[in-house]
Chains A and B, each alone.
Chain A
Amino acid sequence: MSRGRRAGRFVLSLGGVVVASFAMLHLIPGDPVRAALGPTAPREAVERRRAELGLDRPLLDQFLAYVGGVFRGDLGESFLSRRPAAEIVADRLPATVQLVVATMLLALAVAVPLGMWVAARTENGRGRRTDLAFTTTTGALSVIPEFLLAVGMVAVLGVTLGWLPVAGKDGAASFVMPVLALAAGPTALLARLVRVETLRELGSDYVRLARAKRLPTHRVYFRHLLPNTLTATLTTGGLLLCSLLGGSVVIEYVFQWPGLGGATVDAIVNKDYALAQAAVLVYGTVSLTVLLAVDVALGLLDPRSALRSRG
């Protein structure tokens, strides 16, 4: 894809996220303000709040005001705490990003070498036992939901054994369980993918030729093979990174992690629609940015992709 088209699609998608987050408030059946304030709130209070929020103005005015606000960094204010939503996001987002980035790095650091190693051991159907152990373990890890791992770890490692802090974010030790629980599934999936990719490349002519040149094994793997498996790994890695954002919500909830996920859950439970709106906007933008970054990285790393997309 040309640079221009890629940028165009990114902007278009961002626009979609803005519209979606705006529309969300208006799609809610009934009166969101009434829903937020509760059935017992006096009618005048509801009316006053509606006027404050500008919900009594024409839809187009509201939308333009909303978009203008987004551009100024004004995401409205929380229905409950009356704090600016942007401020809450700025408070909470860093903890989420730390959690997700640490998880992604761990997943890549484990999955890529593991997948390649298992592929090398099981090429052409040799190493049946390694194959079975790998498939079973990664299969199990990829189907167990992260919140079960989290709850199990809290019960065993945190409460029963008392090795690790069970909740909150306080120093390196507090990262261990959340990151492990969040990383298990993606690591398993990624390792399987790397293995499949490596196996496929192992059967290719250029690897045969590299072997015919009697290159040392490590050179065949790291210099010849690795760059060719990166495309698929990065693409899936990007999608996994996005899904980690989703998984992080549950992990933050279980470990009472002071991130955006917990705040979002609270906002939805308490019908704090303004904050929920801000969360849609932030999560959407982050996801799109990650995908764009992966796209750009692919373009830079894989000399063929430029050509392919031109055709």
Chain B
Amino acid sequence: MRTLSARVGLALVAVTLVLAVVGPWVWGEEAVRFDPLHTLEGHSSAHWLGTDDGGRDMLARTLAATRLSVWLAFLATLIGACLGVTLGALPSVLGPRGARAVTAVINGLVAIPVLLLAMFAALVAGTGTTGAVVGIGVASAPGLARLTRTLAAGVEGADYVLAARMLGTGRLRVLTRHVLPNIAEPLILSVTASLGYALLGLATLSLLGLGVRPPEYDWGRLLHDALPRVYVDPEVIAGPALAVAVAGIGFTLVGESLARAAARAPVPPGDGEEADVPLGRSPRPGPSGALLEVRDLTVSFGGVTPVRGVSFGVAPGEVVGIVGESGSGKSLTALAVGGLVPYPGRVRGSVLLEGRPLLSLSRSELGTRLAMVFQDPMAALNPALRVGPQLAETGTVHLGLTRRSALARAVARLERTGVPGARARAHPHELSGGMRQRAVIAMGLMGDPRLIVADEPTTALDATVQRRVLDLLAEINAASGTAALLISHDIAVVSSRCSRVLVMYAGRIVEELPSDALRSARHPYTRALVASVPTLDTDRAEPLATIPGAQPAPSDVPAGCAFAPRCARATSLCTTALPAFESGVACHHPHEERPRAGEEEW
């Protein structure tokens, strides 16, 4: 309730409610005092908003009408709530067949325009005050019924309700014991919100002459009577119009704020102070003439810095892996290499592709020399477009090909990655997961990429498909000398496919080593990672090694070595001083270069 709209709404509602209480007492008498000498007058000093056909003061009538208008809205809401919640709860009590039928009826009723439903319900209930209240009540029921149904269906799917049903609890009892108490809060909020709509609906009906009848009067009735006079004295309509606006908008704003508060989403990361990150000494730059050179790369979001001074290089034709747990900053590193860190992320440091800063490359150069493959092939292809044209785009946009030759190239690339060319006409959902990932890779091959950045390219795929997609990447690397940066949490994947491995922990590279040297890694974290992967000679009788504790979140990386709290070799030095990256490892107490065979303690 701290937003501006909630405050405005509360103020408007407060004014309305006060007027509803005091209105008839203060202005009630004046509102009905006949004055045959001053009928149908416009603005004057005695009657600010003019008079009606009985010479009664419009302002006084407007203020005095507050109570009836609000009261009727309240009654209508009550009727709507009773009908709606009952109807919406009905499917929970009936068997599956009955439930489906009632749900279908609710969905049908929701589609009927509310005002029309209200009008015809009012016709049946008899026009006049009763008819209007019943009409608006009935008309607001389908919406509440559907909400009740949706909420109830959600709760009914919960494990504890299923368990209760398994134990033989009856449907009615499940409804009263489990379902209703759990959906009461959002329901009450929605009912409150519908008070505003009821008020506006009643005003509408009365305006149309289908609601309150003289001698009673609510705002809608005042509008109805004043409407024909708007052409002569527009001010006579101002009072009731303003009153409806104030009350209707007030109730709606409060109701919406309540509903929002009930469904409060987590607040997105705000713009906190930029944290000052000690960069530490960065690893040596990659081999000269590197295809990709990353120096002191830091990515921060407000006060959070998930990537902290990362440096590495990739030589032409080389396959380099980055491993780390989720949250280690490896995916953001990949995005930064691609120049795709989303706002409000800030990237510092430099990324050079073929010796040129990423930002100085043109769109077409980037689009053809750098290919990216993301984790989830289900999501990476546009579901609305056919596969072929999605690939061909790169051809027409960046290579200046005609649509036809771009499509031919797309088919060729698809076939190269093992997707039958005929599938170019398919929509993504018609392909299997493995096919889709192949199509994404084929998309990257549309240009002549020097580097493929693959971020967890196989995580979403099943084991056999994983192998084949990795084989494909290796085959492309071997055939065309395309370098690759392979990012994965799976050290087994990385070690089998890469010549060099970078190990990331809490936003930093902690070790860099040839992949065949992984078993003799020097950093305790790398060792622990390797030990947690079962191999053929792992003793199956022993529990698999795990790393105690958890990686710190990017927002609270400690000073010193981030791995120290989980490390058996840590000393007081580790918790205070950041270890420098020297000869391939950032550790104060690294294991010695060549451990004895079979040594597994760390």
Q: Could you list which residues of chain A lie within 8 angstroms of chain B, going by C-beta atoms?
A: 9, 13, 16, 24, 27-29, 123-126, 136, 139-140, 143-145, 147-148, 151-152, 154-156, 158-160, 166, 204-206, 208-216, 219, 223-224, 227-228, 230, 239, 242-247, 249-250, 253-254, 264-265, 268-269, 271, 273, 276, 280, 283-284, 287-288, 291, 302-304, 307
Contact = CB atoms under 8 A, between A and B. Distances in A.
B180 interface: no
Q: Which of B127, B234, B238, B394: most chain A CB closer than 10 A?
A: B234
Nearest to B363: A214
Name B's interface SS: helix
Nearest to B374: A205
A16 B122 contact: no
Contact of B380 (A125, A144, A209, A247): A209
Counting chain A CB atoms within 10 Å of each CB, the highest count among B123, B429, B443 belongs to B123
Contacts of A265: 119, 208-210
B383 A27 contact: no
A243 B231 CA distance: 29
Nearest to A204: B379
B245 interface: yes
The size class of the interface chain B forms with chain A is: 35 or more
Contacts of B256: 139, 143
B111 A239 contact: yes
Contacts of A211: 340
Given A27-B124, A214-B367, A227-B385, A246 B440 contact: no
Interface stretch (B22-30, B247-255, B348-356, B464-472): B247-255
B429 A304 contact: yes
B126 interface: yes
B343 A213 contact: no
B113 interface: yes
30 contacts: A27-B124, A124-B344, A143-B248, A145-B244, A145-B248, A147-B207, A155-B230, A155-B234, A155-B238, A160-B234, A166-B231, A208-B340, A208-B380, A212-B372, A213-B393, A214-B366, A215-B397, A219-B393, A228-B382, A243-B114, A244-B113, A249-B208, A250-B208, A265-B209, A265-B210, A268-B210, A276-B123, A287-B112, A287-B113, A304-B427
B383 A228 contact: yes
Contact of A208 (B268, B374, B384, B385): B374
B200 interface: yes
B20 interface: no
B116 A245 contact: yes
User: Which of A143, A210, A249 is the most central at the interface, judged by chain B CB atoms within 10 Å of its CB?
Assistant: A143
B340 A159 contact: no
Given A215-B397, A250-B204, A269 B209 contact: yes
B476 interface: no
A205 B376 contact: yes
A223 B363 contact: no
Contacts of A249: 115-116, 119, 208
Given A123-B343, A143-B248, A145-B244, A224 B382 contact: yes
A124 B343 contact: yes
B303 to A, nearest CB: 14
A268 B123 contact: yes
B227 to A, nearest CB: 7
Nearest to B373: A209
Contact of A143 (B204, B231, B253): B253
Given A139-B253, A228-B382, A250-B208, 19 more contacts: A16-B108, A24-B123, A24-B124, A136-B4, A143-B196, A144-B249, A145-B248, A148-B241, A151-B230, A206-B382, A209-B372, A214-B363, A214-B366, A244-B113, A245-B116, A247-B113, A249-B208, A253-B208, A268-B119
A269 B127 contact: yes
Contacts of B227: 151, 254
A303 B427 contact: yes
Most buried by B among A126, A145, A269: A145
Nearest to A25: B124
A65 to B, nearest CB: 21
A280 B120 contact: yes
A148 B374 contact: no
B223 interface: yes
A41 B323 CA distance: 92
B393 A215 contact: yes
B293 to A, nearest CB: 20
Interface in B359-418: 363-364, 366-367, 370-372, 374-376, 379-385, 393-394, 397-398
Contacts of A228: 382-384
A276 B120 contact: yes
Given A206-B383, A249-B116, A304-B429, A215 B367 contact: yes
Contact of A28 (B123, B207, B253, B374): B123
A276 B245 CA distance: 30
B342 interface: yes
B237 interface: yes
Contacts of B186: none
A268 B230 contact: no
A151 B241 contact: yes
Contacts of B393: 213, 215, 219, 223
Interface string B91-114: 000000000000010001001111
